[in-house]
Amino acid sequence: MRRLTVSNRPLLLAVVVSLFISASPVLAQQSCESLSTLKLSGATVTSAATIPAGPLAGPAGPGGGTSAATVPARCEVKLTIRPSRDSEIKSAVWLPVDGWNGKYQQVGSGGWAGSIGYRAMVEPLIRGYAVAATDNGHEGGGGAAWAIGHPEKLIDFGYRAVHETSVQAKAVIRAFYGRDPAWSYFAGCSNGGREALMEAQRYPEDFNGILAGAPASDWSHLFTGFVWNERALLKSPGSSIPPAKLPAIQNAVLAACDSQDGLKDGLLSDPRTCRFDPAVLLCKDADGPNCLTAAQVDALKAIYGGAKNPRTGEQIFPGWPAGSEAAPGGWAAWITPANPAASVQANFGNTYYGQAVFEDPKWDFRTLDFDRDVRFGDAKAGAVLNATNPDLRSFRAAGGKLLQYHGWGDAAISAVSSIEYYDSVQTFLSKFPDAGSNAGRPIADFYRLFMAPGMGHCGGGAGPNSFDAFSALENWVEKGIAPALLIGTGTVAGDSTKKMTRPICAYPEVAQYKGTGDPNDAVNFMCAAPSR
């Protein structure tokens, strides 16, 4: 098992920051309501009001609604930010009335955004953070119709709204508390994970620590993969795979591959090692719930294989890993519901190409050219939406720490894409190494990836699907304690009444069973290089 050496440089930085704060003049805290007249460069305060402790009563829709948690008293400041003539970015900042921990956290959005994620702001506030979120520059998250004829709004959604919110929120914090936050963090999953990586790539000094969950980082190619799956499932009337057949598929995958990681537990530690051939499920006689027709076998192979350029054979986006096909809320919703044209993936893929790329609401997915049209989409939309730049040298030089996680059972975003990005950063740094004090230091010094077996999209699924990645990030940033592993909790695959714990190891290591003891207890595992 690899031994980790923790640098004490972050500890020295913490001391310097602490001394700087104590030596800086501290202004008296303003009243919340006085912030309504605060003058900001490029932004307007639209309201500032003290909200007493109680349940969340936000607007209806994504990010709004109620929260079961009691939300602490806060000063709520709402902003409209206009970095361009066509911009109208709405953001909200919550400032703890009492018990501010001296830190700032910004939370990411999901899907096409279009609303402020108030629910996601609750937990950081409870932990004492000043916290902010944005609608990414438009209202309504059902698609990208707002992008038609509005290239500046696409830029706002792509990266500008998150950065501008960070700048303005810190100005509000400074005005209210009389000092800057000692540490700043960003945390998001899905599109929020893409935003997280975008911040590290484009604005390396915005945040000290970044938590990127299941990032939709290769946006243009991910959404191409959605259309690829839709086309595969609708290639012929018999290509669609009914949800009722998903258990048979998953059972066949596990029968072939479950024991490869040394433990037969309904989880694949690394599904990439599974060489499952869907043809073993080919119906020998009549069609039935436990077999696949020839057309369905072809469709499943296409989903596992991922989108490819028909002219060059180049992989456009990786396929979806095997082993979690029947997980609740997984493939049956995202990929192959009763009507594949109504899948979540199909909706996203069609709105991306029809609205953000071709700006034609009547665009037909069957017309997509996986060579020419993909290149056009990359140039028009991918240039502002994709967070795939492997050059993180500036983020590293700024002292930033990046913690990324992804569930192997994610039916929304292929988990392989997270590994591909991590590997691309490692390859880039080997070719173009850092200068100065970071020269020759390993990527794990500032960037770590954790792959969770069985976990679905941003949570849920079988296995160790719940873990406190944010506290691990805090300890890394503020105390210099780099996370070698995260302890995940969840339920045993196939038995939702039985609890389990397991280490989630820093990639490329995986959790390996020691051979004795309760396999549902994390203490009986160790992190080690995967066996191939």
Read out DSSP for 439-468? TT--GGGTEEEEEETTB-TTS-BSEEEE--
Q: Is the CA virtual torsion 404, 405, 408, 411 positive or negative?
A: negative
CA distance 331 to 244: 11
Q: Residue 513: is it exposed, middle or buried by C-beta count within 10 angstroms (0-12/13-18/19+)?
A: middle
Q: What length is written for the chain?
A: 532
Catalytic pick from 206, 258, 410, 417? 410
Q: What is the 3-state secondary structure (H, E, C) of 355-395?
A: HHHCCCCCCCHHHCCCCHHHHHHHHHHHHHHCCCCCCCHHH
Name the average pLDDT for the chain: 93
Q: What are 5-32's pLDDT values in tens digits?
A: 333 334 334 433 444 444 344 445 789 9
Supply the pLDDT for residue 30.
81
526 pairs with which residues across the strands? 512
CA distance 527 to 505: 6
Cα R_g (the chain), whole angstroms: 24
> Would you tell me how many other CB atoms lie within 10 Å of the CB of residue 436?
6
CA distance 482 to 487: 14
Supply the pLDDT for residue 14.
42
Tokens 């949570």, residue? 459
Which has the minimum average pLDDT: 59-73, 245-259, 501-515? 59-73
Helix 469-479, helix 9-23: angle, nearest 10: 80
Q: What are 156-187's pLDDT values in tens digits?
A: 999 999 999 999 999 999 999 999 999 999 99
Work out whether strand 307-308 and strand 401-407 pair parallel, antiparallel, or are unpaired: unpaired
Q: What are 442-460's pLDDT values in tens digits?
A: 999 999 999 999 999 999 9
* Residue ranges per structural domain of the chain: 46-181, 221-253+267-384
Tokens 């105390």, residue? 479
Supply the pLDDT for residue 59.
55
CA distance 323 to 352: 28
Look at residue 432 and tell me whether its pLDDT is greater than 80.
Answer: yes
Q: What are 125-139's pLDDT values in tens digits?
A: 999 999 999 999 999
φ/ψ (deg, to 5) at 287: -60, 150
Supply the pLDDT for residue 440.
80
Look at residue 437 and tell me whether its pLDDT is greater than 90.
Answer: no
* 418 within 8 A of 494, measured Cβ to Cβ: no
CA distance 324 to 501: 19
CA distance 461 to 455: 5
DSSP states of 147-207 as a string? GTT-HHHHHIIIIIHHHHHHHHHHHHHHHHHSS--SEEEEEEETHHHHHHHHHHHH-TTS-
- Tell which wins on pLDDT, 28 or 141: 141
Look at residue 368 and tell me whether its pLDDT is greater than 70.
Answer: yes
**3-state SS class at 511:** strand
Supply the pLDDT for residue 494.
85
φ/ψ (deg, to 5) at 459: 145, 180
Supply the pLDDT for residue 7.
38
Q: What does each C-alpha distance from 137 to 56, 77, 78, 80, 299 come to in angstroms? A: 23, 17, 14, 9, 38
Catalytic pick from 190, 220, 239, 414? 190
**3-state SS class at 498:** strand
- pLDDT tier, 270 (very low <50, low <70, confident <90, very high otherwise): very high
Residue 509 DSSP class: -
**DSSP run (H or E) holding 250:** helix 246-257
> Would you tell me how many other CB atoms lie within 10 Å of the CB of residue 322?
24
Q: Residue 82: is it exposed, middle or buried by C-beta count within 10 angstroms (0-12/13-18/19+)?
A: middle
Tokens 């361009």, residue? 84
Residue 326 DSSP class: T
Catalytic pick from 150, 163, 221, 457? 457
Chain centroid to Cα 514, Å, comes to 31
Q: Which of 86, 89, 142 is CA-nearest to residue 113?
A: 142
Tokens 């000092």, residue? 179
> Would you tell me how many other CB atoms lie within 10 Å of the CB of residue 66?
12
Q: What are 215-267's pLDDT values in tens digits?
A: 999 999 999 999 999 999 999 999 999 999 999 999 999 999 999 999 999 99
Supply the pLDDT for residue 496.
86
Q: What are 317-331's pLDDT values in tens digits?
A: 999 999 999 999 999
Look at residue 35 and tell me whether its pLDDT is greater than 80.
Answer: yes
CA distance 459 to 454: 10
Q: Read off the pLDDT of each residue in 94-121 and give the average, rounded to a whole number.
A: 98
Q: How many CA atoms lie within 13 A of 348 on its CB side?
A: 25
Specify the pTM: 0.92
* 294 within 8 A of 421, measured Cβ to Cβ: no
Q: Which of 132, 88, 95 is CA-nearest to residue 114?
A: 88
Active site residue 410: yes
